[in-house]
Amino acid sequence: MEKKDLSKLTDEELLVKKKELKNSKLFYATLIGILAGIAIFGVVSWSLSSQKQVGFLIPLLIPIFIIYRLVNNSEKNKDLEAVLKERGLN
């Protein structure tokens, strides 16, 4: 949602969006932690294996890509945080 659309919302609607933002931040943080754990476990198990095949590391790119997308998605929420700060609804 663009900043100009957010500025048209009422304070009550912004507070609802703030609650959704808080829940999504918690979900994203949990998901990033789980995916980072999977990636770290994969790298450690690859480094401890006797056969160091590079093909084993290719599936580890999937959690890293998902983490990248989640981090970029969280940057889009900065518009909402800016509007909340403007109106003093922190």
Question: At 61, phi and psi to the nearest 5?
Answer: -70, -25
- Ranked by mean pLDDT, which of 11-15, 16-20, 29-33 comes out on top? 29-33
The string of pLDDT tens digits covering residues 54-77 is 888 888 899 999 999 988 887 778
Closest Cα to residue 28, out of 71, 78, 75?
71
Confidence at residue 4, expressed as pLDDT on a 0 to 100 scale: 61
pLDDT of residue 1: 52
Q: What percent of the chain has pLDDT over 90?
A: 29
- Contacts of residue 24, defined as CB under 8 A and 6 or more positions apart, other chains included, come to 77
Q: Mean pLDDT of all residues in the chain?
A: 86
Distance in angstroms (rounded) separating the CA atoms of residues 23 and 12? 17
